[in-house]
Amino acid sequence: MLSLPEIIERPAQAYAFVRFTVPMDQMQRPANEGFPQVFDYVAKHGLKPIGAAFYNYRRIDMADTLDVEAGIALEHAGPEEGNVKIGTLPAGRFVTLTWNGHPDHLMTVTGMLIGWLKLAEMPLDMVEAADGDHFACRLELYESDPAEVPNLDEWVTTLAFKLAD
């Protein structure tokens, strides 16, 4: 099931993340390595997460590699430590869409959202470059906890892409 796109205002938010540069066929690496590091860091420092864990796609070159952050928004930032970095998700207008279903279909869902944005003439906050598209903030929020919802066909994922000002 797919929701209709919606335009929302998001406030700036501190977040903890681990950055990876990976080819598309290695997208499990940020999940398997990054999220455990982020969750351990949050627990160690007694920080309070705000919302779901996410991927933040910073650069995408589908023919080569992606720069992706495995992260989570925080009530308050803590110190950087090891691979875990601290940043601020930008405030602004975002387009959101929610997908209920298997994560394997997210590429198609994302393509549909990008097509809708083009038809609506609503550009993303991004820069096209020789090494790919660089995004101010392009989130894939994983609303479902795999421990609570083991069936991937029942997962809920929200896309939230920052629009150009």
pLDDT tens track for 66-101: 999 999 999 999 999 999 999 999 999 999 999 999
For the chain, what's the residue count?
165
The pLDDT value recorded for residue 137 is 98
Structural domains for the chain: 6-162 (3.20.80.10)
In this prediction, residue 33 has a pLDDT band, given cuts at 50, 70 and 90, of very high
pLDDT over 90 (residue 146): no
What pLDDT is attached to residue 34? 96
Of residues 6 and 25, which shows the higher confidence score?
Answer: 6
Q: Share the mean pLDDT of the chain.
A: 96
| First-residue to last-residue Cα distance in the chain | 30
Helix %, strand %, coil % for the chain, to 5?
25, 45, 30
